[in-house]
Structure 1
């Protein structure tokens, strides 16, 4: 008795290019669609990405020097102020005694302490030594001078010095080191969290100089256009959206504005306006220095840019 076993053989004439189902055509759809290059939002996103890439490429030669440049520019207003006090000592004493009613000895102590603190704090920040104490000393100078010279209620002075404080906070964030001693049993904030908060405060305060520029002065078409674009860049810096790009833009705008508007070197040395222009010029340089540190460090953890990396 014989039997025949039928064995099913594969059809060798059929070719399957993707026997394991690895190609996209055989996979179930995940619900994501490719970006439409004609979409206006996609065009804006592609343009901003290209700008950021170009900034990254062309800033590479300067990048190692950005922290030093930023630190020097931030304290340059304090260096200029201390030099001005020393070269105009008699005028400073006369103003404090006659207009601010300082007693004879107190006016001298006030100026000496200001000069020593500004020179010592500025040198420490440039050399990256004891930066926390240096920043605290320069913050004290900003506040004390506001009350001492009676400028604390002047809107322009107030907004500009808020921006200078923002620059000092950027220095503090750049120099933060872990404290070796913490009080046992007390809740503490990690170094990363502290840096996030100081970077946020520094970013927000830096933009007040530009806000002061917007609300003061005569209006024209060019000023209106620069104000709108600059205000948008300030908002982007404050919330940390495309922060490096917007900070770079503000550095360029403020630098051009500073040279053409606060051109103190073109005013006669005997003209009273020269000192005011010189003061505004160096304060603007300090705020530019803070923005340069922002370009170097980035906006920090409390920003839209950082959240986008998470989500």
Structure 2
């Protein structure tokens, strides 16, 4: 009886079979393949990763001080402006009354407000609002609001102030982490996006002014590439670091107000541009510290 029954067991026992149920696919996979390390693009990625890791290691001692450095550079232009108004009080009054046709009391009040609204308040939100009002009032008061270079440069300064406000939102979020607050999170994302976009307008002003040369072409091509990466939030931290280095070198050589005689009228313009560029550098440093935020390519790459 048992000789007629064919049990049909495989020759090899299932205890030693790598796939006892027959689910394995014997055909070679045509899906994802590992990247070839000898490919030029993979070599570039490996070198870039090593550079990023090296910078990350050596920048650790400086990282706790980045918020302080960034905030100081952002507000230093307002301190310089207040000091210039106080030391040139009569000249400022003469200009406002003669060329801008301010009444005597209005001109005094205008200058006084510019001096008193300084970033010394412990309430960061109100200090930022006050400084934003100073930027707008000065533009209209001195008749520079419709000057394209001035307008674009001040948009970048406003972007730096928004980065300060965004950092405050981040810190408050950390302080009250146990309390759910989606509105604060959304606000932080949109403020960071606005700050990133406004910071890059300085380069648009740089393109529209001056004569073209090899140096200007270099800065325009690489600077605009880095600005685009900052705006969309792709490798935003490293792009911001590149812009900090580029702007710092440019600021020292192009806005060298210390080399101009004190009686020369160009000295004040160079000093104004120098400290405003420092403010924009400060905004980029804050971007390096707190990151591009949720509305960025870098953040989406973490999700997907």
Q: TM-score range by the shorter chain?
A: 0.7 to 0.9
- The reply on whether 1:216 has 2:209 as its aligned counterpart is yes
State the shift of 1:26 in Å: 8.4
Q: Distance in 2 between matches of 1:206 and 1:252?
A: 15
Contact 1:241 1:303 (C-alpha < 8 Å) held by counterparts: yes
Q: Say if 1:79 and 1:30 are closer, same or farther in 2 by CA, change over 3 A.
A: farther
Q: Distance in 1 between matches of 2:225 and 2:133?
A: 31
Q: Distance in 1 between matches of 2:25 and 2:243?
A: 48
Match of 1:36 in 2: 36
Match of 1:69 in 2: 69
CA deviation vs aligned residue, 1:194-253 (integer Å, no higher than 9, x gap): 000000000000011122112221111232122111110000000000001100000000
Contact 1:51 1:245 (C-alpha < 8 Å) held by counterparts: no
Q: Output the TM-score relative to the length of structure 1.
A: 0.85
Match of 1:6 in 2: none
Q: Distance in 2 between matches of 1:232 and 1:25?
A: 47
Aligned pair partner of 1:136 in 116, 126, 129: 129
Q: Distance in 2 between matches of 1:251 and 1:174?
A: 18
Q: Distance in 2 between matches of 1:252 and 1:278?
A: 19
Q: Distance in 2 between matches of 1:228 and 1:66?
A: 28
State the shift of 1:189 in Å: 5.8
Q: How does 1:1-311 map to 2 (within 5 A)?
A: 29=29, 31-117=31-117, 121-124=118-121, 129-176=122-169, 190-311=183-304
Q: Distance in 1 between matches of 2:138 and 2:229?
A: 31
Structure 2: runs of 5+ lacking an equivalent: 1-9, 174-180
Q: Output the TM-score relative to the length of structure 2.
A: 0.87
Contact 1:178 1:191 (C-alpha < 8 Å) held by counterparts: no
Q: Distance in 2 between matches of 1:246 and 1:190?
A: 29
CA deviation vs aligned residue, 1:272-305 (integer Å, no higher than 9, x gap): 0000000000000000000000001110100000
Contact 1:55 1:245 (C-alpha < 8 Å) held by counterparts: no
